[in-house]
Amino acid sequence: MRIIYDKKDKIAYITINRPEAMNALDATGWQELIAAIEDFRQDDRSWVLIITGTGDKAFSVGIDLKSLAPSLTSGKTKQAAPTVWFKDIFKPIIAAVNGFCFGGAMEVVLGTDIRIAAENAVFSQREPSWGIMPSGGCPSRLARQISWCHAMEMLLVAGEITAQEAYRMGLVNRVVPLNQLMPTAESIARRICENGPLAVRAAKEAAIRSLSMPLDQALVLEFFMAERSFATEDAKEGPRAFAEKRKPRFQGA
């Protein structure tokens, strides 16, 4: 299996599992990844997703150039991956980046919400060095998430940046020792799971949708989404638990 997909309590895990090829993904791997993402989208029992790679050398070096590039450049085959990773998934997604994160893997990471990098993480948008345009959301997302000049350097130079450089430019939230990578990601996931899931999803959805709106329209959207959130059972449970001095028991309803 190129993708290991697990669930534990309210947390789902996607692990890219092709260590003999630095977790590069061929057509089968991309399809397994897409299927796992779709399952997470539809499973109401999974509140948070963590995505990582097997081993300590690579999160993933992106597409398997030997197997996929010929079909993609032939003009006869459409891209194997979706145009934009994690589009319209409003549940939180955490990336735990171990080692190399190149090309298509960078595009996967750009679709996540919270990113933890191991100290050995290295990021690069490598496609231009092979004469291929980056796609899968990178040109669209990168300059929205970090400064224009940093985004252009990554896209045009196709060089490598370290975990600490990625932290300084705001590409990742934290840099931790490799042995603390998954414990840190899981700690954040568990903390999110203590919150009301509907409130968390509404907050993420409002943030994403407001990016394409003028501020006054975004505020109107936020108001209506909050009004809908206030009508849920979880919104009643939270204040009730506060008054009773206990932890809330959220049901996602």
Catalytic residues: 107, 127
Q: Sheet harboring 48-53: ordered strands across?
A: 3-8, 11-16, 48-53, 93-97, 114-118, 174-176
| Phi then psi dihedrals of residue 130, to 5 deg | -110, 10
Is the distance from CB of 93 to CB of 111 less than 8 angstroms?
A: yes
* Rounded CA separation 185/26 (Å): 27
Helix (H, G, I), strand (E, B) or coil at 202: helix
Taking the CB of residue 88, how many other CB atoms lie within 10 A of it?
A: 9
DSSP of 65-79 = HHHHHHHHHTSSS--
Beta strands in 106-219 (DSSP E): 114-118, 122-124, 161-162, 174-176
| Phi then psi dihedrals of residue 119, to 5 deg | -60, -25
Identify how many contiguous H helices and E strands the chain contains and give both numbers. Answer: 10, 10
